[in-house]
Structure 1
Amino acid sequence: MEMNIQEIKNYLPHRYPFLLIDRVLEIEVGKSIVALKNVSFNEPQFTGHFPDQPIMPGVLIIEAMAQATGILAFKSEVGKPIEGQIYMLVGVDKVRFKRMIEPGDQLHLKAEVTTVKRGIWKFKCSATVDGKIVTTAELMCTQKAAD
């Protein structure tokens, strides 16, 4: 199942400049997701990171992975979120950065569910560009109920 940006906005509260998922390419409910982030020179972080050699900050790569896990968790657990209901990143482990991501790159994000226990979701994540691993991490998220 694919999702375009309009559908993604139904699952994530993020908006420009912090919505970091452009498309979902595949989703297997309860198991895995593959999402896409198109990296553009026009993104605000590139004015300062770094002006002469723009690279995507590692924290934004992790955030993009976390947003993908949020979509997967919602689709797997509650279907579609109600107003104010979000998945929050609560843990990041075993992060490794292998390559730089530059404007013009297409970042493929993959997350696989490893465990779900008492509302805590754990995922094994990777990010690739042109089939080459750029980042790997293990992420945890949990649902924050609507206020």
Structure 2
Amino acid sequence: MKNIKILILLLLIFSCNSQENNRRHKEDTILKIEYNFYPSSGGDPIYRVSYFNEEVIVENLEYSYIYKGKIAKDKIEEIENIISKLKPNNDIEPDIILDSWRIELIINDITYYNKTEVTKETLPKDIKYLLYILIKNSNVDIDLYNFS
């Protein structure tokens, strides 16, 4: 009987330790998100939305407008939930289509989305919602034809 009690105690200790390690690993994982908005002619992005270490930065690179803000704790969980559903994109070379924008989503240095001729209606729901969470409080307008 004494052996069974010791065995149960050891199982409880190891179980709790394992859960603590998993929680600590999740908290230690640093998430880096970057949206880039390119004109159809190529070149450098005109707009950039970056998220790192609970801070979001929305930039109009053409006119040097910058917004910096923090993301609320409850939104961080939503962001992590959305990202867990996304899959990396194997086709990272988009077609060049004039009079359209190219949108690129990079998460932890891996391209998840890179498409041309994107509108609000054609942008995948999770990618659109993730962008909305990041830019919600920004005072930098992302003004794209067929997108804004």
* TM superposition score normalised by structure 1: 0.26
Q: Looking at both structures, which has the greater relative contact order when contacts are Cα pairs under 8 Å and sequence separation is at least 6?
A: 1
Higher strand share: 1
* TM superposition score normalised by structure 2: 0.26
Structure exhibiting the larger radius of gyration computed from Cα positions:
2
